[in-house]
Structure 1
Amino acid sequence: MKKNFFAIGFVVIVYLCSCSNSETAQSQNLARKEPEVKSIFINGDSLHYVDIGKGEPVVFVHGAVGDYRTFGAQMDAFAKRHRVIAYSRRFAFPNQQTITDSTRLSVVSNASDLTEFIKALKLKPVTLYGHSYGADIALVTTIGHPELVRRLVLGEPFVPSMMQQVPGGDTILNNFFTTAFGPVMEAFKNNDNEGGVEALINGVMGDSTYFDRMPQKDREIMLANYPEAKGILSGKDNFPSVVCEDLKKIKAPVLLVRGEKSPAIFAIMIEGMKRCLSNREVATLANTTHGLEYESPAEFNNAVLSFISKH
């Protein structure tokens, strides 16, 4: 099973970059004024972020092939009631790090950055939202530093270790990786970076035309962030094993967000997590795939803001 963790960790990373072709999301992004981009020195490197609004802090964590711009449709809506921070993880635009050590690409190293980021900005405790690979980072951060998190919101986290509880889990993981990401690995191997990103998006969405139909702005964001996804392929054991006992230790309220039309493997993992978390709720976004906040920003925003108000 351990052999599959890396492969599926990459699957999750990919999904994070799936940006919406939703007219609602586009109009919100176009209408809003771009916030000031700031930087802070964390763990030996500068990380960039945007920070708007006042009130209890909400921190957004993107996945690979994304950056702080991923949450354009959330910033203004959440800033009406909260201080909202979205940052670009190490190696993401507009950060300037060069990937020379694949161990810096792991969930654990990213969780370390997130921990220090929250501490440096004196934000704790926060409402923490992570999507896909970013959800894995948010989850590991919460397990390691529960004092930093008041509420945890996870958008379809990819937790391969949950598949150990599922009959035939190894086969499900291997099949999903082979069919969705074989072409991605081949393209990156041949230094066809744009082809790799396109194959990655089309593969995880199950639609060979999806990337071509996306708005140009969203495609540009993903292409600007391809190095991390490509670098992950050279990593080893970069995806930690989270088991039920780890989840049982989480005392903060948890909201699990899933898409009604997302691949079944995400629903399987969420069901496994539900059995282990003591204080959890599930929000299912109608007619939505793994894009979640990209595809259904209004429904997503309402679900998360209601969860925050309730707890």
Structure 2
Amino acid sequence: MPPSSSGAGHNGFEKADLHIHTKCSDGIHTPEEIVDKAASAGLSAISITDHDSVAGIDKAKPSASAKGIELIPGVEMSSTYKGYDIHVLGYFFDHRHPALTGYLDHCRHLRTERAERMVGKLAKMGVKIGLDQIILKAQNGSVGRPHIAAVLQDGGYVKSFSEAFSKYLGAHSPAYVKSIETHPAEVIRLINEAGGLSFLAHPAQSAPDEILKQLITVGLDGIEIVHPSHDSYKQNYYREIANEYFMLFSGGSDYHGLKDRDDDTFGRVTIPGDWVEKMKSRLVKA
């Protein structure tokens, strides 16, 4: 069972989910549908953190405003460091900041090129799928491995999302191609220049301790403490590191809406409202 966190915010028992994906990257729901789900789940605040895309923010704004849900500008940005795929979550930034949007447009092209290379590797293994099918799956969003997995499933090459990753697309699988090879320090700088806060996403999945410590030295603001891959031991472990370095806490469901991956995480893997308030107070000091 995935972990959850709850606690009293400044306005009662508020809960937030600051890690959600939509059709603008590799989720299955539209931004508007995510807002509806958040309202049904009783969330007070959410952040749509699509991969290398901020396209979902403006789409979600009207419905979030109508339903009284705080929509925090968010993004999950790809980077690579010492052979590790490092994902950095950004919050509370200006999502129209020219340097940030220019970089994200560049990432969109890199993601398509990466998918093309993976299609080439699959073809050499006798797995014939087309890049056009993957782009169609992405519906003009950021192309990612889940879109390739969906096409593999449609073609009958695999039975599930998890099989697609274990057999072909995972980091140690034969069709894998490295993610965007930007240094995380550059990603952190872009988020900072746009007025936002940067957090290391799901460290237990992607970053050994020595990598995490090095990222702290280049200006990381916080750590994603609550995540479906973090049990209570890992939550406490990363909370202690964050406290040691006076860092902020974040967390969320990392929800994509994929049945064999997400289960029922939405509305259950949450953070208390006061974590969000502490982020805001750090912004005031910046």
- Same fold per superposition (TM over 0.5): no
TM-score (norm 2): 0.37
> Structure with the greater relative contact order (CA < 8 A, sep ≥ 6): 1 or 2?
2
